[in-house]
Amino acid sequence: MAFLEINKINIDYVTEDGVVEAVNDIDLSLKEGESLGLVGETGAGKTTLAKCIMRILPERTARINSGEIFYKGTDLLKLEPEKMREIRGSEIAMIFQDPMTALNPVLTVGEQIAEAVQNHQKVDDAEAMKKAEEMLELVGIPAARSSEYPHQFSGGMRQRVVIAIALACNPKLLIADEPTTALDVTIQAQVLEMIQKLRTQMKSSLILITHDLGLVAQNCESVAVIYAGEIVEYGTVHDIFKDMKHPYTVGLFTSIPKINEDVKRLTPIPGNTPDPVHLPKGCKFCTRCAYATEKCQNEHPELYQSSEGHFVRCFLKGQGGEKYGKQ
């Protein structure tokens, strides 16, 4: 039994302009203690997938069409709301992208951490506040500041508070949604180091959502590259970094400027992400792919196994490999 197993998840957003297919047939699995990187551009569906695992997608617009998410053997999508509420924060916790907006402006940071504690443990206010102060110290903020409000903290400090909230109940699975995007580079390193340290202490698994390949290399064991709502390449960090197959993954790597070369211009991937309301019929990357053939435009490629544990969704690169699947 896998620790976390996501099977063929499909999520749409119903908007005024039409139906946006945000997540298409995503399969993923995660072992206990493992860390997985989800890499992709803005709008690829990474956050949607994360919110789907937490079951905090906006009810009005988001629609989970099919799929299962097994956490320790139970399908989270079939759980009663109250059971799911118990899991949120205590078993699975999430660190949000923007620390400037992720904290409630009218509650003290202490109150916000203490609330996470009291949601899952029967402790009185004083005890919860004591635990909140411990958490603050753990993320490097003096306990005395627990009675201050979010606006009295800097961005990096706020992100520490967000992390303290997420870790307050020792979650077994931590989903970090671009935890450092809104921070400047020096703070980024500190925050990630802290997440890593705390994660090892608490033996949690990690799903790290990012568009920064460097972060993935430092923090994850396996990587899923997501494009337009589907996984285009999946493998260990070693597979992806040393033997990348999919043209999109290659594009992601070549768009990073190299420090040891004299780069005058960045090398972006040509074109834009396709309009999510009108996705291409065949391979979703074919409009931007230098190698696209007629077949790519008309047929949708499966996820092929190119080598042991390394999968790629491409006719050209995955050819000859076995189809991915758990059936």
Partner 1 sequence: MWKYILKRFAMLIPVMMGTILVVFFIMDQSNVDPAKIMLGDAATAENIAHLHKQLGLDDPFFVRYFRYLGNLLHGDLGISYTYKTSVAGQIASRLPNTAILAGSGVFLTVIIGIPLGVISAKHQFSIFDNVSTVFTLFGAAAPAFWVGLVLVMVFSQHLHLFPASGMGRGTVGLLKSLILPAITLSLSGTANVARTTRSSMLEVIRADYIDTARAKGTDERTITLRHMLRNALIPVTTVVGLNFGVLLGGSVLTETVFAWPGIGRYVIESIKSQDIPSVLGCVVVLSILFTVVNLFVDILYAYIDPRIKAQYKSAGGSK
Shortest spacing between CB 79 and partner 1, in angstroms: 13
10 Å CB burial of residue 263 (0-12, 13-18, 19+) is exposed
Residue closer to partner 1, measured from CB, 166 or 192: 166
User: Can you name the residues that pair with 322 across neighbouring β-strands?
Assistant: 305
Written as one letter, the residue type at 309 is: G
Letter for the amino acid at 127? E
For tokens 């409630």, name the residue.
104
b/e burial code for range 130-142 (CB count within 10 A of at least 16 → b) = bbbbebbebbebe
* The only residue of 15, 65, 101, 298 in contact with partner 1, by rule CB under 8 A: 101
Does 56 sit near partner 1 (CB under 8 A)? yes
**165 near partner 1, judged by CB under 8 A:** yes
Q: Please pick, from the candidates 11, 22, 88, 227, the single residue that binds partner 1 as defined by CB under 8 A.
A: 88
Phi, psi of 125 (to 5 degrees): -55, -45
CA separation, residue 291 to residues 130, 158, 243, 269, 283 (Å): 59, 45, 18, 13, 12
CA distance linking residue 236 with residue 220, whole number of Å: 9
**90 part of the interface to partner 1, by CB under 8 A:** yes
Residue with smaller CB distance to partner 1, 38 or 93: 93
Measured from the CB of residue 116, what is the shortest distance to partner 1 in angstroms?
4
Nearer to partner 1, 171 or 235 (CB): 171
Which tokens is 215 given? 């972060």
Taking CB under 8 A as the rule, does residue 119 contact partner 1?
A: yes
Cβ of residue 233: shortest distance to partner 1, in angstroms? 28
Tell me how far, at minimum, the Cβ of 303 lies from partner 1, in Å: 30
Residue from 45, 89, 276, 282 that binds partner 1 (CB under 8 A)?
A: 89
Of 133, 187, 190, the C-alpha closest to 164 is 133
Answer for the pair 231, 26: CB distance below 8 angstroms, yes or no.
yes
* Minimum distance from residue 253 beta carbon to partner 1 (Å): 31
DSSP structural state of residue 183? S
Nearer to partner 1, 85 or 130 (CB): 85
Helices (H), 206-284: 213-219, 237-242, 247-254
- Check residue 96 for interaction with partner 1 (CB under 8 A): yes
Cα(86)–Cα(305) distance, integer angstroms: 37
Assess 86 for contact with partner 1 (CB under 8 A). yes
Considering the rule CB under 8 A, would residue 4 count as an interface residue with partner 1? no
Among 116, 194, 244, 283, binds partner 1 (CB under 8 A): 116
Applying CB under 8 A, the span of 91-99, 133-141, 203-211, 282-290 interacting with partner 1 comes to 91-99
Q: Which position among 20, 39, 52, 87 is part of the footprint of partner 1 (CB under 8 A)?
A: 87
Six-digit token string for 173: 């699975």
Shortest gap between Cβ of 289 and partner 1 (angstroms)? 35
Tell me whether residue 149 or residue 241 sits nearer to partner 1 (CB atom).
149
Distance CA 129, CA 112 (A): 9
Rg (CA), the chain: 21
* Residues in contact with partner 1 by the rule CB under 8 A: 51, 54, 56, 58, 60, 85-90, 93-94, 96, 98, 101-108, 112, 115-116, 119-120, 149, 151-152, 162, 165-166, 168-169
